[in-house]
Structure 1
Amino acid sequence: MFHSGPMEFDATKPSDSPFLRADEAGDHLSDWRFRRAHRALFRGVYVAAQTPVTHRLLAEGALLLAEPGSYLSHHTAARLWGGVVPDHPDVHVTYPRMRAQCSGIAAHRPKARQQVVRWRGLPITGPIQTFLDMSHLLGLVDLVILGDSLVRRKRFTPDHLVTMAEKHSGPHSRLARRAAQLVRAGVDSAMETKLRLLIVLAGLPEPEVDHRVHDSDGTLLRRYDLAYLAHRLIIEYDGRHHAESEEQWHHDIDRDEELDDGGVRRLVIVSKDIHSTPARTLGRITRAMRQRGMTVPPLKDEWRRHFAGRAGDLALPA
């Protein structure tokens, strides 16, 4: 239920939920005392000062200012569904008619046949609808990252996403279909997605994602980000936790020794390899592929549009 006007409240009882405060509200407290006990989320929308500010809290506050029939969408919907999207300072709300003029709220107009659901008490675009809507705002890599993260949260399957994207029409529908076809299950992080897309957009064979090794009892022994099993080549992204955790460090040593015993090559990629020196990284990957007996096709240039790198990392190593 939405409130079209100020809510009545007892200012002496802090609430964990956002509320509207009209300028003329008689709260029996001075404005100074009120502001000490509360914090403003938006103009006229407050919450108790000790209440942690979360994406959900901001979403609830934004909806208090919205007309009936409004719903959460775009970046805000993506985050509430557990998806990974670039940071954006505003709460995104789609309004059926009016568009709120309020700092901190990004207003959108509804599109035909948008799927809107009620989730945990909030009106919000469905997960697949959110993915399709974000194709208007994100590039290919960030859109695939969103898709991978929503699959990881079990919001949909890659096959279902592809089916719905094929039915999508209008602006950016081609991007939505392309991104949907690149979404995979079993991806643990945005950096793993970026590493896979660097490989794929360069025209190299797509590796298997999330290969798992179990013992005879079914206990998980090892998990590999990207693997070319037939050629005994594994490519993995290592984040800072591998350097900062002694337990993880010892685990990696044991794993590397096992891989060496089995004649498996493990190529380790870190953040700068993707963000700063993608051309050099592709050179390392193709060199490892050739050493493992793989056929390496001529590289495509599409990766350059999505992985800019830095000066001095423009040409691919021979």
Structure 2
Amino acid sequence: MLPQRRGLAVHVRDLRAEDVVEAGGLRVTSGAQTFLDLAARLPPAELVATGDALLRAGALDAASLQRRLARAGRVRGVVSARTCAALLSPDAMSRPESLLRYWLTTSDLPAPEVQVPIVDPRGRVVAHADLGYARFRVAVEYEGRHHADVLQFGRDVDRYSLMAADGWLVLRFAGRHLTGPAAVVGRTRRALLSRGWRPGSRSS
């Protein structure tokens, strides 16, 4: 019998053995099942961020997600889950980076690369950009609170100086820019245009 308690919402799922895993002694839904369940409740950008986090934590992999979505039928949220599954990346290091990547990828701009290596004239990797367009030397960086740390700030100065010295244009975004895609997409578009990209070309 299902529990009946005020304020408690009960959700019923027909689960297979592979849809349940054990974590810390508790039986919980697998990463793939969790992603599918959340697809009915989260907006696409947040679903991509959640999927990225599951991949990053090792709780989800592309094969298991593909298997779960293949037998999902017409479950609520499955269309969003299938669309967003194609956009996931384990290389996104945080929710803000995932949001920026989602907004850029679903805009009319080229899809950004993730963790782009910055190479000096000797061929050495001297830094990595959160997101970027190697062809146009445009980097997109998210500045979280940890960047205010004195040591991290010093490392950032070195990194941005190295990137600029090698001809990279660096766009920096912060928490205030996570309310919507307008500023991120608009500024990235202007940067790409300044580097030779033209609308209608999706190539990076």
Q: TM-score range by the shorter chain?
A: 0.7 to 0.9
1:209 is the counterpart of 2:114: yes
> Identity, % of aligned pairs?
32
- List aligned pairs for 1:245-256, cutoff 5 A: 245-256=149-160
Map residues 172-187 of structure 1 onto 2, 5 A cutoff.
172-187=77-92
| CA deviation string 1:270-310 (max 9, x = no partner) | 1222316x323322110100111112339xxxxxxxxxxxx
- Offset at 1:212? 4.0
Q: Which has the higher helix share?
A: 2
Match of 1:21 in 2: none
- Confirm or deny that 1:235 pairs with 2:140: yes
| Kept after mapping to 2: 8 A contact 1:158/1:184 | no
What does residue 101 of structure 1 align with? 4
Correspondence list, 1:225-304, <5 A: 225-242=130-147, 244-275=148-179, 278-297=181-200
Take 2:173 and 2:154, find their aligned partners in 1: how far apart are those partners?
18
Count of residue pairs brought into register by the alignment:
197
Using the alignment, how far apart are the partners of 2:104 and 2:193 within structure 1?
15
Q: In the superposition, relative to structure 1, how do residues 220 and 111 fare at CA in structure 2: closer, same or farther (>3 Å)? A: farther
Q: Distance in 2 between matches of 1:164 and 1:210?
A: 28
Q: CA deviation at 1:221?
A: 4.6
Q: What is the 5 A alignment of 1:35-184? A: 98-103=1-6, 105-111=8-14, 113=16, 115-158=19-62, 160-170=64-74, 171-184=76-89
Which letter maps to 1:172? G
1:163 CA displacement: 4.7
Q: Structure 1: where are the runs of 5+ without partners?
A: 1-97, 299-318
Q: Which has the larger radius of gyration?
A: 1
Whose RCO is larger (CA < 8 A, sep 6+)? Answer: 2
CA distance in 2, matches of 1:157, 1:182: 13
Q: Secondary structure at the match of 1:275?
A: coil
TM-score by length of 1: 0.56
Deviation at 1:198, TM superposition (A): 1.2
Question: In 2 relative to 1, CA 112–127 (structure 1 residues): closer, same or farther, beyond 3 Å?
Answer: closer
Q: Deviations over 1:129-177 (max 9, x none)?
A: 1111111222211211110000000122335424532442212211110
Q: State the 1:189 CA deviation.
A: 0.9
Looking at structure 1, the residues matched to 186 and 125 of structure 2 have their Cα atoms a distance apart, in angstroms, of 32
SS in 1 for 2:27: strand
Q: Which residue of 2 aligns with 1:313?
A: none
Q: Which residue type is aligned with residue 178 of structure 1?
A: T
Please give the TM-score of this superposition, normalised by the length of structure 2.
Answer: 0.85
